[in-house]
Structure 1
Amino acid sequence: MNSCNQAKKSCGCAGEKPDASQPTVSMPASGMTFKIEGLDCTEEVAILKSAIGSLVGGSDKLVFDILNGRMTLLPDAEPVTEKTIIKAVTLTGMKAARWQAGQAQADEKQLHRSKTVYTTLSGMFIIVGMLIHIAMAGGFTDAQTFLSHPENWSLHWAVITDYLTSLANAHAQQAMPLPEKIAFGLAVIFGARHVMVKAFYALKRLRADMNLLMMVAVIGAIFIDEWFEAATVSFLFSLSLAIESWSIGRARHAVEALLDLAPSTVTIKDESGQERRVPAAEVSIGSRFIVAPGDKIPLDGDVISGFSPVNQAPITGESMPVAKQVDDEVFAGSINGEGTLEIKSSKLASDTTLAHIIRLVGEAHSKRAEAEQWVEKFARIYTPAVMILALAVFIIPPLFLEGSWNEWFYRALVLLVIACPCALVISTPVSIVAALASAARQGILIKGGIYIEAPAHLNAIAFDKTGTLTAGDPIVTGIYPFNGHSEEELLSRAAALEARSNHPLAKAILQYTENRGIGIASADNVTILPGKGVTGLFNGADFWLGSRRYLLERSQEVPEISEKAIALEQTGQTVIAIGNDRHICGLIAVADQPRAQIKAILQSLREKGIKHLVMLTGDNRVTANNIAAQIGIDEVHAELLPADKVEIVSQMIEKYGQVAMIGDGVNDAPALGRANLGIAMGVLGSDAAIEIADIALMGDDLSKLPWLIGHSKRTLAIIRQNIIFALTIKAAFALLAFAGLATLWEAIAADTGASLVVVANGLRLLRPGNVSAK
């Protein structure tokens, strides 16, 4: 789609043709998002910041998403029309249009196709030029060498090298024939198609970037009659841009794969029982829909009929399916198992947990990591510095050392080509995007590149207790009947009194009773005593159930029972007493339990380099100390208010430097915000928790923490490898250029090869691997 059509689409209503009789109105652009054609790396970001920043009140009013080729103006940007933004972007050699999801994707595919076509044409005309050169230099007699000695690769290489050398030195031997120049000239034009416009605007703004650098090298090569090398530089640079575009697209597709998790249509069941297929986007909250065995669940909702195991791994990373029955919550993108489920939708398609994940992962790339920011600053200084150095290489030796102008001009061009920061600039964003996508597949939502680095630097972690270190759901840990009663009698009476209660302790008793196969009958005349307990009539007799404090109020405690209750409480268990007017029937002990494998998980964190593990809880000190002793926590702070947690996290930061806080994402919000890194637990279906945390563990699974720290260290290691490799290649070829041992086409081939290597190395992060970095 051309820029004119894009501008038309950016004004007016989507899907409507503008009325030719009415003037087109340019809407204010503040708060809008634009699709930028040609936005592939931080070089373009720097150009756009320079061009647009002054129009909107500063470059800090702009947010860039290289992954999706988007630029967003923040709501507090200075008022400016959409037309002004589009015009300013056009002056940089790029194109802008109002962002529309479907059209943007189509434009992106068209741009990628265009880059591929022009690169292919450039390569084809280089081959044509080489064939013309071979024909005019003595025909194809050497082809017999390939046919007669197909196994002699060293001979083949010698022949190829001779041809390339003769091409590179053609101007020194004789003038290049016109047909050969035309072929190589066309190769230059097609190869520089996506570079020359940006280079022109860079020159116009007196801003040295890699596009200008490449065009100077190409024009310089033509000026000294090095047509083959000019064509080769154009082709290989065009190829490197295509590789860059492909790599960004590869990482983008890894994120876009999330979109395929939820089907686009839903089988709705109306009030008459009839079923019909409708688009998911049209389903309202409260609608009933059917999910057949093996199908993906299209929307968030609650099961109203059926039973089936559901694979939630695409959303949470859980390895085992979770059994779902009536009243259980299910999530879009999870996969139904063996049974048919009827579900009542609880959210619109645009507001599901999956939709939030996709949106946040899509936005994450705009929150750039420190390594990305460093590379951008480095490239901003590096490119003009190299151009000045190349100018010095061209001028100083001929003026002061009696060198040849042609020879040193050629060496300066080689230096310009190898100094192109393509590999350096592309290495970091590709690695960061791949790392974000890989973490999302593991059920870890990282809300920006800036947060992918943080886990690698952590020295201490503060944990909330309930729901984080513990399961969050209390269970019955012991039954202690007295005065001749049995455990079954004790549980029957307790369950009858608690049958209608939703209190966590009541649920624990009811669940335990059901698991024992004991029938539950509701008591009559049940009366709740706030803060104390409950009374009721069971099998014609009055019974009461309550805390030990209520037991003391009734003055029914005896030494034997008192000693047992005190002993249980000292181990962190909550004691519930059941009795009647005559005596105490017995005690039930209930306690929240540590998460499965939590001790091993904490040990793994220590092996990853975490020096100190702290528990923060509002629970009583006895319970907190008991849990800490079981799992191996280094330090315990109990009976805390939210403000107290913030103060302790602040003290930890002063002592240990980099500190993470892990909690439920809502009650612990102040402490999550104060820590260097906030990690939310138990956030599946909780939009607030997803929004609050820097990182969210979607599957409520602490075992992902050691993987996250290892993944962060692996990401930083790969970024360092890429930067060191790119700079080493450039330094080596810079020395070869000074010595006159490197040619233009060798330099650009090395730079393109370096780009391929760093891209491939960065994309390794898409594989979760068996991370063992410490």
Structure 2
Amino acid sequence: MSYKFKMQDLNCANCAQKIETRLNHLDNVEAIVNFAQGQLTIETDQEVNPPLVNSWEKIVQEIEEGVALIPLFDMDGYQRPELASSNSDKKVIDQEGWRILITIPLFLFGFLLTNSISSQWLLVTYFALTYLFIGQEVLKTTWNKIKNKDWLEENFLMTIATLGAFAIGEYPEAVAVMLFYSIGEWFQDRAVEQSRQSIQSLMAIRPDFARVKQSDGSLSKVDPRNLLEGQEFVVAVGDKVPLDGQIIDGHSQVDHSAITGESLPQTLTVDDTIYSGSINLSSQLTVKVTKTFQHSTVSQIIDLVENASSKKAATEKFITRFSRIYTPIVVGLAVLLAILPPFFFNGITWSNSFYRALQFLVISCPCALVISVPMSFYGGIGAAAREGIMIKGGNFLETLTKVKILVLDKTGTITQGNFAIDQVHTLYLSKGQFLEKLAHLESQSHHPIALSIQEAYGQSLDPKRVQSVETISGKGLKGVVDGQSLLTGNKDLMDQHQISVPSLKTAATVVYLSIDQEYQGYVLIKDQMKTDSKSALKELHQLGISSTILLSGDNQATVDEIADLVGIDQAKGNLLPQEKMTELETILTNVQQSAPNNKASKVAFIGDGINDAPALARADIGIAMGAMGSDAAIESADIVIMNDSLAKLPRAIKIAQKTLHIAQQNILFALGVKVLFLVLATFGYSSMWMAIVADVGVTILAVLNSLRTLNQAK
């Protein structure tokens, strides 16, 4: 089972990593800490009860004191407390902010004392008290870390550096470093809060209530989670739609932007599907539930966004590994810098060497990387979600930037999947009789072609007239209608049953019909092209996709025509579902053989049908069309496009490219500045003031840069 917790007052990204590591060392526990969202997810088969949660919270607080675990689920015997403070009602200036504001004039007054007071003892006492006032939280945290044997982190480094400054008589500088460190941490926390607020705004699509009509005709508000499939609810003007459903009364303009990213409202009427999280704009609707809350569109989107951090990008994993070895190495170098120079260089005193080592410690904190890089990827996922593109993890976001070959399904991807009969050719039956027989056999199928035939017949169908219908994968149907044996499908099916039919050269889909092994005629069915397919494929090529390949079960003439119309490089038709997988395996093998050491070339598959699920799972990255796509396809995919528009794929690639670019900017910027200042500190060309800028200043700038991923303009 999966259990989620709000991690109240989690402000340390490095601590978040340590918490995740410690909890994962427990038996039967798999923990994921989402620092960007301040959330803990635990997978366990244990019975979760208050004592168990308290034991987890104790481990958390050993690493970062004051962090509370607030269960985001109902638990027997646990009274869930209200959050002490939420991001929306945080005070502009908190306790730490007031402490900083009070310390600034105290620090400036201390400078005046250095020029007017001759008593060294009084001067030391004044700065020591000021230091203890501003640094009390840092010192307290350091002491707790030492007790828990987890001392090698930024608070310890800052404590040693400032106490060391006191030891060599640099009292004002010691207070200044602690003051500016506190200022930097305060601004850093505000930046992290801003990021969390932006991310949580995505969660605002979750509906709070559903209006249900009572027996007396009045409407009452109920929890959407309590509604079952088939029940009815009313959506008033301005309401969020609580559950996915089918409209049974009314018509209205509906804003789907929170789900699909499309800004233009859509007019919906009776029998249309309406998605949870949408907003009703113009008139009241009555809707029948087709998906319960747990399986609704809005719940799927929220789960995708919340769980995206569990699949970390290679860049994120590198930073995690890097930070684990970086800090101990730098601390070791600082010790050597404090001890060795006086032995080898004339003119360098122990005091000089110690002062340089203290700067080295301050500069070495890896916070800028530990916070900003994961936040960049989470911001990119959030930006994509805002446009109706659900990316299931940072690893898929990064892989998307490496796609060079795009394999596409046809129906529902390139075309609308809205089939319509173009021509009817019969030998013996009238057109009406022909469609009547064909429609009754196809009534057992939900394939788009079958639905188009039923629509063309246009009359009610009697299921009692139909028996023993069997689907022949990739070829058609056979069954009994009115006591007669019917066979319908493509030419391969007719050839398989030794029924002679004409061979047609046409781009349309040909559906033949035989009755009692005698050929009766055929219908030509055409699928409608999506208006944005051609422009989307052109843009994909411009973004670096070197090859596009269309795989389809339709005849070769059809897929060739479509490929020419939209600009696809290769097209292969007449493929059964298993043959699509074989073709995809061949493509993947060829890519690997052509460049076995080149991990930069990836193969993506995009489709929407249930038969596309294996290919979506097998490709380097699977992309599903979500609005009309099957649940199996959405489950198997790594990326889900909610509005079925191929034009969203170039947009997703652009977001991925910018996100990776920002993450790389943060890495190069943070490491570059730190290396520069470490060199300056080593040779005595920096000061504690410069060191604190190299640490906290860089972190703030990197975090602010990460926020750009959340606000990517089209």
TM-score by length of 1: 0.77
Which of 387, 399, 405 is the equivalent residue of 1:460? Answer: 405
Distance 1:221 1:525 in 2: 89
State the partner residue of 2:372.
Answer: 427
The residue number in structure 2 matching 1:702 is: 646
SS of residue matched to 1:639: coil
Q: Does the alignment pair 1:755 with 2:699? A: yes
After superposition, the Cα gap between the structure-2 partners of 1:522 and 1:257, relative to the gap in structure 1 and judged at 3 Å, is closer
* Cα 1:247–1:194 shift into 2, 3 Å: farther
Q: 1:719: which partner in 2? A: 663
1:396 to partner: Cα distance? 1.3
CA contact (8 A) 1:262 1:299 kept: no
* Residues 1:451 and 2:387 are matched in the alignment: no
* Aligned position for 1:224: 168
- Relative to 1, partners in 2 of residues 1:248 and 1:652: Cα closer, same or farther, differing over 3 Å? farther
Aligned position for 1:181:
127
Task: Check conservation: 2:249, 2:270, Cα contact below 8 A.
Answer: yes
Aligned to 1:56: 27
Unaligned runs of 5+ in 1: 1-29, 140-169, 484-489, 514-519, 537-543
1:66 maps to which of 35, 41, 45? 35
String of CA shifts for 1:388-439, please: whole Å, max 9, x gaps.
1111111112233242222221111111112211212212011111101100
Given that 1:463 and 1:662 are in contact with CA atoms closer than 8 Å, whether structure 2 keeps it comes out as yes
| Letter in structure 2 aligned against 1:754 | V
Is the aligned partner of 1:354 residue 2:298?
A: yes
- Give the corresponding residue for 1:120: 97
How many angstroms apart in 1 are the aligned matches of 2:343 and 2:258? 67
| 2:71 equivalent among 96, 100, 111 | 100
For 2:244 and 2:125, how far apart are their aligned partners in 1? 66
**Take 1:193 and 1:454, find their aligned partners in 2: how far apart are those partners?**
43
Shift of 1:547: 7.9
- Tell me how far 1:763 sits from its aligned partner: 0.8
Contact 2:205 2:277 in 1 (8 A): yes
Higher mean C-alpha deviation, range 703-712 or range 648-657: 648-657
Give matches, 1:644-723, under 5 Å.
644-656=579-591, 657-664=601-608, 666-683=610-627, 687-723=631-667
Aligned-residue RMSD, C-alpha: 4.1
Counterpart Cα distance in 1 of 2:578 and 2:490: 30
CA distance in 1, matches of 2:228, 2:187: 43
| Change in CA separation of 1:340 and 1:48 when aligned onto 2, cut-off 3 Å | closer
Tell me, which stretches of 5 or more residues in structure 2 are unaligned?
74-79, 470-476, 592-600
Once the two structures are superposed, residues 635-682 of structure 1 have per-residue CA deviations (whole angstroms, 9 ceiling, x without a partner) of 233333433333322222232341111122632121111111111113
- Which of 307, 311, 315 is the matching residue for 1:363? 307
Q: Which secondary structure state, in structure 2, belongs to the residue aligned with residue 590 of structure 1? A: strand
Distance 1:178 1:392, change over 3 A: closer
Letter in 2 for 1:43: N
Q: Does 1:732 align with 2:668?
A: no
CA contact (8 A) 2:605 2:619 kept: yes
Q: CA deviation at 1:364?
A: 0.8
> How far off is 1:41 after superposition?
5.0
CA distance in 2, matches of 1:268, 1:522: 32
**Structure 1 segment 78-477 matched on structure 2, within 5 A:** 82=53, 84-94=55-65, 99-101=70-72, 106-107=83-84, 109=86, 117-133=94-110, 135-136=112-113, 177=123, 180-190=126-136, 192=138, 195-197=141-143, 199-201=145-147, 204-205=149-150, 208-402=152-346, 403-477=348-422
- Would the alpha carbon gap of residues 636 and 303 (structure 1) be closer, same or farther in structure 2, given more than 3 Å must change? same
Match of 1:574 in 2: 510
Which amino acid letter does the alignment assign opposite residue 387 of structure 1?
A: V
Q: What is the match of residue 75 of structure 1? A: 44
TM-score (norm 2): 0.82
- Offset of residue 545 of structure 1: 13
Give the letter for the 1:605 counterpart.
Answer: L
Q: Answer yes or no: is the 8 Å Cα contact 1:464–1:615 preserved in 2.
A: yes
Cα distance change of structure 1 residues 643 and 231 upon mapping to structure 2, 3 Å threshold: farther
Mapping of residues 628-643 of structure 1, within 5 Å = 628-643=563-578
Structure 1 residues 77, 339: CA separation in 2 closer, same or farther (over 3 Å shift)?
closer
Separation (CA, whole Å) in 2 of partners of 1:548 and 1:380: 61
**68-77 or 721-730: bigger deviation:** 68-77
CA contact (8 A) 1:262 1:297 kept: no
Structure 2 match to 1:19: none
> Please, which moves more after superposition, 682-691 or 219-228?
682-691
In structure 2, relative to structure 1, the CA distance for the partners of 1:138 and 1:701 (3 Å cut) is same
Q: Secondary structure at the match of 2:310?
A: coil
Pairing 1:44–2:15 present: yes
2:525 pairs with 1:590: yes
Q: Which residue of 1 aligns with 2:473?
A: none
Offset, 1:180 = 3.0
SS at structure 1 position matched to 2:406: strand
Deviation at 1:480, TM superposition (A): 8.3
Q: Which amino acid aligns with 1:180?
A: Y
Separation in 1, partners of 2:301, 2:556: 37
Deviation at 1:736, TM superposition (A): 2.3
Q: 1:41 to 1:185 in 2, by over 3 A?
A: closer
Offset at residue 505 of structure 1 (A): 4.5
Amino acid at match of 1:469: I
Question: What is the percentage of aligned positions where both structures have the same residue?
Answer: 33
SS at match of 1:471: strand
Q: Distance in 2 between matches of 1:49 and 1:533?
A: 58
Q: Sort the Cα spacing of 1:526 and 1:298 in 2 relative to 1 into closer, same or farther, 3 A.
A: closer
What secondary structure does 1:678 align onto?
strand
Change (3 A) 1:679 1:175: same
Partners of 1:115 and 1:194 within 8 A in 2 = no
C-alpha distance in structure 2 between counterparts of 1:644 and 1:548, whole Å: 17
Match of 2:33, SS state, is: strand
Q: Distance in 1 between matches of 2:260 and 2:453?
A: 29
Deviates more, 1:650-659 or 1:76-85: 76-85
Query: Could you tell me whether the CA contact under 8 Å between 1:662 and 1:680 is conserved in 2?
Result: yes
3-state SS, counterpart of residue 467 of structure 1: coil
Partner SS, residue 593 of structure 1: strand
Q: Could you say if the C-alpha distance between residues 566 and 684 of structure 1 is closer, same or farther in structure 2, counting changes exceeding 3 Å?
A: closer
Spell out the pairing of 1:441-520 with structure 2 (5 A cutoff).
441-477=386-422, 502=443, 504-505=448-449, 507-508=451-452
Give CA deviations for 1:509-551 in whole Å, capped at 9, x if unaligned: 67679xxxxxx67799997797589999xxxxxxx9988989x
**CA radius of gyration, larger in:** 1
Mapped contact 1:575–1:588 kept (Cα < 8 A): yes
Tell me the CA shift for residue 478 of structure 1: 5.1
Q: Deviations over 1:594-630 (max 9, x none)?
A: 3222122112111111111112223333333333233
The CA distance in 2 between the partners of 1:526 and 1:684, in whole Å, is 30
> How many corresponding residue pairs?
674
